[in-house]
Each structure stands twice: as structure tokens, then as C-alpha cells.
Amino acid sequence: MKEKTSTAAVVFTYAFAIFAVIVMVATMLLHGGFGMWTLNRDNWDTCLTVRSGIENGALNPYGSNDCYIMFTCDERYRVSDVEVTYILSNEYSNMGRQKTTYVGALGPGETYECKFTADFNFNSGDLSDLMGMMHISVQIVAVSGKYSLA
Amino acid sequence: MKNFLKNPNVLAVVQLIISIAETIVLIFFTSCSVWLAVLMEIAALMAICVFRFSYRFAKWNNRWHSLWYRKNAVREGDDEPSDIAVAGYKIGSGIVLVLQTFVLLIFAMLV
């Protein structure tokens, strides 16, 4: 017997195609329109750079320190409605809790700076570890928002 | 034109274009993980192959079933699959294809 195409397969394929096109167009319109994309945990680094550290000259190994985290938008992109959830950590401080910061909209090359205070407790360890105190690691947990070409 | 649209290769190409387009939309327009989108595209590609070659799959299945489970293997020509056997493959692969669209629908609603 020769293989034949059933009517059900033809109907299914074209019904599926029409349904899928409707869903795709609706998705694109709902998520900011054409030429605008959604930021997520996997793609945020294409248009955002995150830096963090302790304000210069203010390092106090036994007390409060002014720290910062900076989100910079790449020159080729602009972002809007950005919200970042991250964990800042340093083994000598009280950091480590999950924080959420609303960055909002950034143009090409623009930076959003978020300041916070961290309490350091350098009671143990070698003094050579002091440099390790200057380092704050940032772990990005979630990113939401939109990005488009500048 | 009517026969062209009914051609199984044309149906497979239509399904392929739609599934690739869905993956692109999932990656660039929603918060879906890239790995999840790529994984679903691989599943969709396999589903398209099974949908296209469902008759051959059903025939192979009959032959292997005969080889493993019958004392006397079926003769050439007796291994012709039933319509239900072919439809089983088509329904299974169709569900995998539609699943990708439903995942897109769910992520579309997560504004």
C-alpha cells in the first residue's frame, strides 16, 4: 500500500500554523512590540554591566562601610522598566541576603547607582586578607524589563 | 495548488517554519529560559520527523513487534500498519508540536 496523506494531518497542520501565528503576534504585541525584547536571567549581560565595590577611602574593617552597586547600559542598547534581584556577598560582612532593586529606564551608556551600607567584622584572618574585603561578588538571581537597540 | 498544500513534505516544512519562529519569539520576546526554548525546539524537530514519517514508523513497529513477539514472523506484505497505528504516531507528535505553542501562550501571559 502506498503512503497517503490523511485529511486530518492536513487540517491539523494548517490549524496549528494559524493558531501558532496568532499566539506569536499576540506575544510580540503584549511584550513591548516589534524591535523590543524581554530581559531575563540569560540575556541581561548583552546590554547591562554590573559593578560593585566599597567607596574609596572609606574601608573600615570593623564597622560600617558605604558600598555601591552600579548598573550600566551598553552603548548599543536602551533598557526600560528594569528590575534586578541579586545577592551581594563578602565573607567578612553581613551581606548575603537577596535584594531587589528597581533600576528603571537607562539610555545608551547611562548608569544607575545604588548605595548601601554593609557592616564588616574583621576579627579573624591575616591582614593580607584585607584586599579580599574590598571585593564584593554579585550573583544575579532574576532580571526583568525590556531592551531595544539604541 | 491543492495537491501541493497536501504534500507531506510541504506540511513538514510548514511545521518546521512555525516551530523555529516560535522558538525565536520565546527567546527574544518572553522571559523563557534560552535552554528551555532550545530543548523544546529539539523536541519539536523530532516530533516533525515522526509526524512526517509516521507511516514508516508504524510499519517498522509492526516488523519489530513481529520479530520479538511472534513465533512465526509475518510475511512480506502482512506488516502493513493500520490507520490507527499511523494516527497514533501523528497524534503523539502533534501533541509535542502544540505543546510548544502552549508554552509560548503561558509565557505571553506572564507580562
Looking at residue A149, what is its pLDDT?
82
For residue B21, the chain A residues in CB contact (below 8 A) are 20, 24
State whether the Cα torsion A130-A135-A137-A143 is positive or negative: positive
Question: H or E segment at A119?
Answer: strand A111-119
Looking at residue A125, what is its pLDDT?
61
Say yes or no for a CB contact (<8 Å) between B22 and A24.
yes
Say yes or no for a CB contact (<8 Å) between A9 and B90.
yes
| Span of A10-19, A39-48, A74-83, B66-75 with lowest mean pLDDT | B66-75
C-alpha cell, B79: 506488516
- Decide if A61 contacts A90 (C-beta within 8 A): no
Average pLDDT for A116-120: 84
Q: Which domains does chain A have, with CATH numbers?
A: 37-149 (2.60.40)
Where are the domains positioned within chain B? 2-109
| Confidence class for position A66, pLDDT limits 50, 70, 90 | confident
Say yes or no for a CB contact (<8 Å) between B111 and A27.
no
Looking at residue A96, what is its pLDDT?
83
| Confidence class for position A33, pLDDT limits 50, 70, 90 | low
Looking at residue B110, what is its pLDDT?
76
Find the closest chain B residue to A25 by CA distance. B25
| Confidence class for position A22, pLDDT limits 50, 70, 90 | very high
Q: Closest Cα partner for A150 from A85, A90, A83, A73? A: A73
**Global ipTM:** 0.88
β-strands A36-38, A64-73 pairing: unpaired
Higher pLDDT pick, A125 / B82:
B82
Average pLDDT for B57-86: 86
Secondary structure (DSSP) of B17-70: HHHHHHHHHHHHHS---HHHHHHHHHHHHHHHHHHHTHHHHHHHHHHHHHHHH-
pLDDT in tens, B7-51: 999 999 999 999 999 999 998 888 788 899 999 999 999 999 999
Average pLDDT for A34-38: 76
pLDDT in tens, A127-137: 666 667 777 88
| Confidence class for position A32, pLDDT limits 50, 70, 90 | low
Looking at residue A107, what is its pLDDT?
93
Secondary structure (DSSP) of B47-62: HHHHHHTHHHHHHHHH
Say yes or no for a CB contact (<8 Å) between A3 and B97.
no
B9 CB-contact burial (10 Å; exposed 0-12 / middle 13-18 / buried 19+): exposed
For residue B11, the chain A residues in CB contact (below 8 A) are 5, 9-10, 13
Instruction: Report the C-alpha gap between B2 and A147 in whole angstroms.
Output: 43
Most distant CA pair in chain A, distance: 85
pLDDT at B82 over 70: yes
